[in-house]
Amino acid sequence: MTFSDIFKSSFLENVAAVSILDMALALILAFGLGLFIFLIYKKTYCGVMYSSSFGVTLVALTMITTLVILAVTSNVVLSLGMVGALSIVRFRTAIKEPLDIAFLFWAIAGGIVLAAGMLPLAIFGSVLIGVIILIFANRRDMSNPYIVVLRCDGHDSEAKALEFLGARVRKYTVKSKTAQRGLVELNLDIRMKDDNTDFVNELSEIGGVESAVLVSYNGDYMG
């Protein structure tokens, strides 16, 4: 071993593996792409409670993926170690909306493509994906899905309420029915004719109807 070998370090040799310009350009582009994904997510979100932290996660995930792929492409040995390290990572956060999974994969894929230097593919692909999500996610069913929770004191009041409801809405479907002594509770999936909800007030005034509750939902019924 010579005197110069003492000062040799594999860590220092990797310092210049990726140039400052490449790092800055890749991370800036990743931030822009992540911000675009975040805006599409915010525009198309239709859940109950909007999570701003998930939107920030999309931006950060795009940049982090770009950072990792830049390191992997500069060193083959590092790429093998990275695969082993990431294989032990487990995520426990539940994904409540199916579309959120698509946004997560979009952010990861965008970071990978950017770090690989395929800039046209990253831009064109992301714009096309964003347009498709905007078109399909913003489609609204004109039949206005709602759930009506109806509480009646017996069969006669139930029949009157259903007859009235059938005349005021486009269609209804009984999703569940609970019958007890002196009480009948119905959960009905209805499709309204318009945005007028005054029929609920009239429904609650029918003799024998104890209460009528109208709830908006996303069309997915969990039975």
Please report the pLDDT score of residue 222 as a whole number: 43
For the beta sheet containing 145-152, the strands, ordered from the edge strand earlier in sequence to the opposite edge, are 171-180, 183-191, 145-152, 209-216
In the chain, the number of structural domains is 2
Q: Last residue of some domain: 79, 106, 137?
A: 137
Could you tell me the pLDDT band of residue 146, with boundaries at 50, 70 and 90?
Answer: confident
- Looking up residue 177, the CATH number of its domain turns out to be 3.30.70.260
pLDDT in tens, 44-57: 887 656 777 888 88
pLDDT in tens, 99-110: 888 898 999 899
Q: Determine the structural domain holding residue 163 and report its residue range.
A: 145-216
**In a shared domain, residues 48 and 125:** yes
29 vs 36: CA distance, rounded Å: 11
**In a shared domain, residues 132 and 52:** yes
**In a shared domain, residues 88 and 15:** yes
**In a shared domain, residues 21 and 112:** yes
**In a shared domain, residues 121 and 82:** yes
Please report the pLDDT score of residue 73 as a whole number: 75
**In a shared domain, residues 31 and 120:** yes
Q: Last residue of some domain: 137, 154, 170?
A: 137
**In a shared domain, residues 156 and 130:** no
Please report the pLDDT score of residue 40 as a whole number: 92
pLDDT in tens, 160-198: 888 888 888 888 888 888 888 888 898 988 888 777 888
